[in-house]
Amino acid sequence: MCGCQKKIEPITFGEWLKELDEKAGIVQFTQKEPYFSDISETNEAYAYVQAAVEWKIIRPEDEFELDQDLNRQWAAYTLSNLTNEAFEEKAEIKDIESSPFQREIRHTVDLGWMELNREGKFEPDRIIERSEAEKILDQAAAYINHRTFDTIEPKIEMADGSRFIEVEPLDFNESAMQGIYAKDSALHIGDIVHWEDQEGKKYCYQIAEQKEENNQCTVVFKMIDIEDEIDELQIAGNEELDFSQADIFQDGNEIKEQTSRKDSAADHIQNASIRSLQKTFSLHEFNVELTASGSSLAAKVYRSMPYGTEIAAQVILNHVHVDYAWNSAQKDLRNAYFRIDFQSEEDLQIENEQVKKLYGDFSKVSSDNFLVSLKDLYQTKNDASETSIEICRLVLPIPSAPVLHVDLSLELRLGISGKAQLSLVQKNAIGFETKDGAMRFIKDNTSKADASIKASAKLLSGINFDFCLLNGTLMDAGVEAGAQANVKTTAHLYDEDGKMSEVQTDLPGDVAEKAAEDNNNVLICTDINAHWVADVNLNSSSTLAGRFGFGREYELLNADNAPLIPGLNAHFENGQAVASCTRKNRRHLPTAEGISVAKHICLKEYSFTVHQGSAYQIEINALPEGYEKKDLVYESSHPDAASVDQNGTVTAHAAGSTVIAIQTSDGKHQIHCNAMVPTVQ
């Protein structure tokens, strides 16, 4: 009796190599000439093979076929080469004597990425199933992208044999860069001296000149050029940054405490829960609040604009952790690793409840005069603006290595034209690793987003981490994250006979909708092109790693992979996404009850905000012929956030969002609207 061998879905060596490169962030290469003659620049495998060779995952002398099924020994070979670490061969394996990759197999088994069977055999020639391969790749990527380093005592060798010593001057003139020491201090030109004063401020300079007189030694300091003055540098470690220990500066000056603010729209945005340090100041007509605790930093800006627009934006950083390693000698960066793990939240709320009061009653304005009249008023009474706010710079110590510190800078860019509510919460791991002149990216991002938008808007936070040694910057990582939305507004104008004309306008959608909501002869549509943003910049030209040629940029979130609300980058009618515009010439005038007859169910608002404990009444503007309000059935997709009764009353319970489905009882007609419940402070 013969058994049937179970069929598996294999993965080819080429597919494996490509996925390995992508998951490990190995996407760049420097040599254009192909490493393999049969994989030319026109071959779709060219880029990932070149990158794999330069990271030494494979070697030019290796013999393989990209379309061959991947077996276990080739998987082990490439995985072992992926890591950039020394290792001891510990695993005892019975069946690998004939394999050319015995060392790599033992290493991969020791790491726990691949296992032996019950008999203690590796089975080097067994074909790997695709699902197993993907699981192994995820393990390997998680390992190399989240390495930790034990902290070591920094090794700093000066280029000219100068010393690196800790000695505080008897007197120090910071503006003149001069210090006075005792005559017997035995200092020499070129020495690097560092100290901490009684207030905890740290200093580090190189001696440029010295003069002895009257039993004293007067020295003139200069800033240290870490590239020219340091011949060999070895550092490694990890640190959770403590914001309560940070020195905070704005425009070069330490930020001082100011009086607390009055309640405003900013109260709708929740602050950090633990407060150990709070500083407030004004910047570009915005009020700024900084709140720092051990693991958290919150920066909030808010402003009441001249024509009633309330703006509140906030950036929160939580649990910022840095892992680092650097090994350089004689201006050659042998190996480096830099990773910043952090959680961030970017929030923006722009709202103007005074639109109707500001522009007056447009319910009786004829459709011919509607846009002209509204635009004339808007041009003289609007709060549209674009602002860049450099909020602050923080200097964060690394207690385990006093010669190191992190400079963190925070910036906000706001584009304001009309109503918007945006919230982006991210968990990031960003950075890079170098190995023998090659570089790979570390990029791990998970995000949660909510949005309600009626007009073009922009919220971009710039967060930059400079990893500094003495007076210089070794490495840096900058993230610009948030959202960008461009909204085009179209007005559909109806004459007395129900004939429609269509006019595009540069008026914000929320302003046009508010003005038109009681005017039956004007309907507003918007086209929204919006997406989340997360751009990463590694090793700028001001860093030593950047000058060594390891500066790179890449995108985590963009228009292709992160639309503002998935599936809703389309045409909107009062906030509801539709495949194409449904506005047409009217066949029926509004009924006495104010409900028009239309092909679809039409609502007054398709996206709205309702605060916890409050209620919102869904208003019906039009129904298909033959239906009444009593024929409608309502259902909430997330009733824990907001529920809806059969009269269309939405009640908010908890922060979040929900989709309300509204359909006729016979199921022939259906429409949706979105309800957002903001966090309560």
Q: Give tens-digit pLDDT for 597-623.
A: 777 888 888 888 999 999 999 999 888
Element (H, E) at 545: helix 544-547
Quick one: 446 and 482 in the same domain? yes
Quick one: 106 and 172 in the same domain? no
Closest to 417 measured CA to CA, from 488, 518, 358, 504: 488
Q: How far apart are CA 618 and CA 605, in angstroms?
A: 7
The percent of residues above 70 in pLDDT, for the chain, comes to: 93
Q: How far is CA 445 from CA 210, 344, 353, 535, 674, in A?
A: 52, 11, 36, 11, 26
Residue 589: pLDDT band (50, 70, 90) is very low
pLDDT at 130: 95
pLDDT at 256: 55
Q: Which residue has the higher pLDDT, 395 or 91?
A: 395
Q: Would you say 445 and 532 are in contact if contact means Cβ atoms under 8 Å apart?
A: no
Q: How far apart are CA 526 and CA 532, in angstroms?
A: 19
pLDDT at 568: 53
Residue 258: pLDDT band (50, 70, 90) is very low
pLDDT at 590: 53
pLDDT above 90 for 537: yes
Over residues 51-75, the mean pLDDT reads 95
Structural domain includes residue 175: yes
Residue 134: pLDDT band (50, 70, 90) is very high
Quick one: 392 and 434 in the same domain? yes
- DSSP-derived secondary structure for 18-86: HHHHHHHT----S--S-SSTTS-TTSTTHHHHHHHHHTTSS-TT----TTSBPBHHHHHHHHHHH--S-
pLDDT in tens, 476-507: 999 998 888 888 899 999 887 778 899 998 88
Closest to 168 measured CA to CA, from 181, 178, 155: 181
pLDDT at 203: 84
CB burial of residue 652 (10 Å; 0-12, 13-18, 19+)? buried
Structural domain includes residue 579: no
Beta carbons within 8 Å of 624's beta carbon, 6+ residues apart:
597, 598, 599, 600, 601, 664, 668, 669
Quick one: 220 and 273 in the same domain? no
pLDDT at 261: 39
Q: How far apart are CA 83 and CA 143, in angstroms?
A: 9
Q: How far apart are CA 630 and CA 650, in angstroms?
A: 17
Quick one: 305 and 404 in the same domain? yes
pLDDT at 92: 81
- pTM over the 0.85 mark: no
Quick one: 424 and 284 in the same domain? yes
pLDDT in tens, 311-325: 899 999 999 999 999
pLDDT at 528: 81
Over residues 546-567, the mean pLDDT reads 84
pLDDT at 133: 96
Q: What is the CATH number of the domain that holds 191?
A: 2.30.130.30
Residue 257: pLDDT band (50, 70, 90) is very low
pLDDT above 90 for 24: yes
pLDDT at 581: 80
How many helices, marked H, and strands, marked E, lie in the chain? 10, 36
Closest to 301 measured CA to CA, from 349, 248, 246, 249: 349
Q: Which residue has the higher pLDDT, 358 or 269?
A: 358
Quick one: 544 and 604 in the same domain? no
Structural domain includes residue 388: yes
Structural domain includes residue 581: no
The first and second tokens of residue 102, run together, are 């015995």
The first and second tokens of residue 611, run together, are 């605060």
Q: How far apart are CA 168 and CA 426, in angstroms?
A: 43
Q: How many domains does the chain have?
A: 4
pLDDT at 269: 44
Domain boundary among 145, 175, 203: 145
Beta bridge partners of 439: 434
Domain boundary among 196, 224, 252: 224
Quick one: 254 and 394 in the same domain? yes
pLDDT above 50 for 274: no
Q: Would you say 50 and 29 are in contact if contact means Cβ atoms under 8 Å apart?
A: yes
Helix (H, G, I), strand (E, B) or coil at 97: coil
Full domain range(s) for residue 52: 13-145
Domain boundary among 175, 195, 224: 224
Q: How far apart are the first and last CA of the chain?
A: 72
Q: Which residue is listed with tokens 């033992």? A: 106
Quick one: 522 and 595 in the same domain? no
Q: How far apart are CA 242 and CA 294, in angstroms?
A: 5
Structural domain includes residue 232: no
Q: Which residue is listed with tokens 């060779």? A: 53
pLDDT at 344: 92
Dihedral of the alpha carbons of 143, 146, 147, 148, in degrees to the nearest 10: -140
Quick one: 106 and 208 in the same domain? no
- Lowest mean pLDDT, pick from 114-118, 250-254, 397-401, 545-549: 250-254
Residue 595: pLDDT band (50, 70, 90) is confident
Q: What is the DSSP letter of 519?
A: -
Structural domain includes residue 571: no
pLDDT above 90 for 368: no
| Chain centroid to CA 156 | 34
Quick one: 140 and 161 in the same domain? no
Element (H, E) at 171: strand 171-173
pLDDT at 324: 96
Q: Label residue 331 left, alpha or beta by phi (over 0 means left) and psi (-120 to 50 means alpha).
A: left
Q: Which residue is listed with tokens 């808010």? A: 302
pLDDT in tens, 421-467: 888 898 989 999 999 889 999 988 888 877 777 778 888 899 999 99
Taking CA 482 as the corner, what is the angle to CA 474 and CA 456, rounded to the nearest 5 degrees? 140
Residue 5: pLDDT band (50, 70, 90) is low
- Lowest mean pLDDT, pick from 234-248, 449-463, 578-592: 578-592
Structural domain includes residue 580: no
Which of 67-76, 301-310, 616-625 has the largest mean confidence? 67-76
Q: How far apart are CA 606 and CA 659, in angstroms?
A: 10
Residue 383: pLDDT band (50, 70, 90) is confident
Over residues 172-183, the mean pLDDT reads 92
Structural domain includes residue 234: no
Quick one: 610 and 466 in the same domain? no
Q: How far apart are CA 610 and CA 616, in angstroms?
A: 6
pLDDT in tens, 621-631: 888 877 888 88
**What's the chain's average pLDDT?**
86
